[in-house]
A and B are shown apart, each in its own frame.
Chain A
Amino acid sequence: GENVEQHPSTLSVQEGDSAVIKCTYSDSASNYFPWYKQELGKRPQLIIDIRSNVGEKKDQRIAVTLNKTAKHFSLHITETQPEDSAVYFCAASRFPSGSARQLTFGSGTQLTVLP
């Protein structure tokens, strides 16, 4: 099955700096890569995703890049703000024909933005 590794496990940055979180996946058939943000005690929420036919996607201060050859993808947050502090999870998924997606999650990155 799919295996997703995520690094680093913790990341501290100064407010205004950039943060980068990296993930690798094992299943070359995976074609969908979402990122979830989970604030303390709250549910995971999708913040951005990318499909395998795209190399990069941006949404305001957040961007995701995908390298299919190397089987890794990254989350980039620019101009970080204190409210960006949370645990971020990457995930990988195939979309089997006739079935809904299954997500395999990474182990998470605790991002702390220092004021």
Chain B
Amino acid sequence: EAGVAQSPRYKIIEKRQSVAFWCNPISGHATLYWYQQILGQGPKLLIQFQNNGVVDDSQLPKDRFSAERLKGVDSTLKIQPAKLEDSAVYLCASSSGQGARNEQFFGPGTRLTVL
């Protein structure tokens, strides 16, 4: 099966600019996650969608970050305005939301550098 797709793979912007990332999950996966992975750290959950509804966005800095999942498939994550500390890899993951294992499959990530 095709994996989780993300674009762009790399993005360099100036602070205070805006940026958007796109994710296409594995076909049929109801649950979609966005993670922020700062260099040298583990992935940190930003937001979780179930179909097109938000399950948890408690760790999303809502003053500058927003995310949507229209039609319950693709998702976009936006940062506006960006800060230096937003430099990180943004990982998208999806899962079927069912079964005992309910494995999360990760995309290749978008590496964001804020100058």
Q: B-contacting residues of A (Cβ < 8 Å)?
A: 4, 6, 34, 42-46, 49, 51, 89, 91, 95, 99-108
Chain B residue nearest in CB terms to A9: B40
Q: How far is the CA of A43 from the CA of B76 in the complex (A)?
A: 19
30 contacts between A and B (CB under 8 A): A4-B42, A6-B42, A43-B4, A43-B91, A43-B106, A43-B109, A44-B43, A44-B91, A49-B101, A51-B100, A91-B42, A95-B102, A99-B50, A100-B30, A100-B48, A100-B50, A100-B55, A100-B95, A101-B95, A101-B102, A101-B104, A102-B45, A102-B56, A103-B104, A105-B42, A105-B43, A105-B44, A106-B42, A107-B41, A108-B40
The A interface is mostly helix, strand or loop, or mixed, namely strand
Residues of B within 8 A of A51 (CB): 100
The B interface is mostly helix, strand or loop, or mixed, namely loop
Residues of B within 8 A of A102 (CB): 45, 48, 56
Q: A-contacting residues of B (Cβ < 8 Å)?
A: 4, 30-31, 40-45, 48, 50, 55-56, 91, 95, 97, 100-104, 106-109
Residues of A within 8 A of B103 (CB): 34, 46, 49
Residues B42 and A45 in contact, CB atoms below 8 Å apart: no
Q: How far is the CA of A4 from the CA of B104 in the complex (A)?
A: 18
Chain A residue nearest in CB terms to B56: A102
Residues of A within 8 A of B31 (CB): 100
CB distance from A26 to the nearest CB of B (A): 15
Q: How far is the CA of A105 from the CA of B48 in the complex (A)?
A: 15
**Residue from B31, B43, B97, B102 with most neighbouring chain A CB atoms (10 Å):** B43
Chain A residue nearest in CB terms to B55: A99
Contact A42-B45, Cβ < 8 Å, known A100-B50, A101-B95: no
CB distance from B66 to the nearest CB of A (A): 20
Chain B residue nearest in CB terms to A89: B42
Residues A89 and B55 in contact, CB atoms below 8 Å apart: no
